[in-house]
Amino acid sequence: MDPVNSTKTSKILLLGFSEEPKLQPLIFGLFLSMYLITVFGNLLIILAVSSDPHLHTPMYIFLSNLSFVDICFISTTTPKMLWNIQMQSKFITYSGCITQMYFFTLFLGLDDFLLTMMAYDRFVAICHPLHYRVIMNSKLCGLLVLVSWIMSVLHSLLQIFMVLQLSFCKDLEIPHFFCELNRMIQSACSDTFLNNIVMYFAVGLLGVAPLAFILYSYSKIVSSIHGISSSQGKYKAFSTCASHLSVVSLFYCTCLGVYLSFASTDSLQLSAVISVMYTVVTPMLNPFIYSLRNKDIKGALKRFFWEKCKRAIFPMVKNCHNCSDQTLNIRNCNPMIRL
């Protein structure tokens, strides 16, 4: 294959999971179901937090932001894959691939930062409960979210700028179901040494460093929980962290496993399958993990839908009573009707 400039690469072939025609409807149905569940579940969390003033706290503000990012995160990859399966095509344009990589890297970084901020919130709440309201004020929360967006945007722009400097072959094939940055760099026909340096430096700075901070926070949390005398207090403190810790474990184990694994032909298919865990499965599980055992979220949703039902049903009931009263008045006034 002859190397050409990246601007001349018009189409890219995404090989996906399997070329077996019989498996395509199964893959389509599975990923469509997971996508709809993810969008619906995360929208419910955003709805619950935004509609209930009692949930306008740092923990739930970070959670609603995480839900929004998860919707965007899964929407960068899954709809295109579903479209390709439906159209029986595996092609994506070069500009579409670059756009997909940009937003994928952006929301991946935001996911990373938000999980770190949620760990810090739990650390302050458990280790410094008397100073929680002073430390985790609204200005700090807004500043943390804003800085996360700025750093993620700058990081994504840097990675895309580095990819645009590469040359690719005319017949470019990516053994994945989306344009992943790591696979795109490996598929280049030009020297990728600088790209790999930048990518792994970013993984260390934006991936390993936040993970180290999360582990440090939880080490302090565990020591604080051990200092609680009552078993009920220990259980309550641990239950507030269990959901976040399970999401962190699932997200980082799969994400870092993909980016830190050595590139080999035998592991390409396995890498694509592992990528599904943090690109599709984790955003889908987040609403279940954070809301099923969360009484505040469930209570906010019940109150919201109950208010909607009252506004929709009570006017109808009132109109029916008015109609009944009017009918009785007509009957009482009209002797022919009364007979």
pTM: 0.84
In a domain, 59, yes or no: yes
The pLDDT value recorded for residue 292 is: 65
Q: Mean pLDDT of all residues in the chain?
A: 82
The tens digit of pLDDT for each residue in 286-304 reads 888 877 667 778 787 788 7
- For 170, the 3-state DSSP assignment is coil
| Residue 70 domain-assigned (yes or no) | yes
Higher pLDDT, 195 or 243: 195
Alpha carbon distance 94, 81 (integer Å)? 15
Q: How far apart are the first and last CA of the chain?
A: 97
**What pLDDT does residue 55 have?**
86
Q: Binning pLDDT at 50, 70 and 90, where does residue 2 land?
A: very low
Instruction: Identify the three-state secondary structure at position 175.
Output: coil
Residue 206, Cβ neighbours under 10 Å: how many? 19
Domain membership of residue 300 (yes or no) is no
Does residue 131 lie within any of the structural domains?
yes
The per-residue pLDDT for range 140-192, each reduced to its tens digit, is 999 999 999 999 999 999 999 999 998 887 778 888 889 988 888 888 888 88
Question: 103 near 72, Cβ under 8 Å?
Answer: yes
Q: How many domains does the chain have?
A: 1
Residue 256 lies in a domain: yes
**Mean pLDDT, residues 228-253:** 79
Spell out where 154-280 has E strands: 167-169, 173-174
CATH of the domain at 102: 1.20.1070.10
In a domain, residue 334? The reply is: no
Task: Report the pLDDT value the prediction gives residue 1, as an integer from 0 to 100.
Answer: 45
Evaluate whether residue 339 is within a structural domain.
Answer: no
Q: Which band of pLDDT confidence, cut at 50, 70 and 90, is reported for residue 6? A: very low
Q: Is 186 in contact with 192 (CB distance < 8 Å)?
A: yes
Assess if residue 80 is contained within a domain. Answer: yes
Domain residues for the domain of 227 are 3-293
The values of phi and psi at residue 11, to 5°, are -135, 150
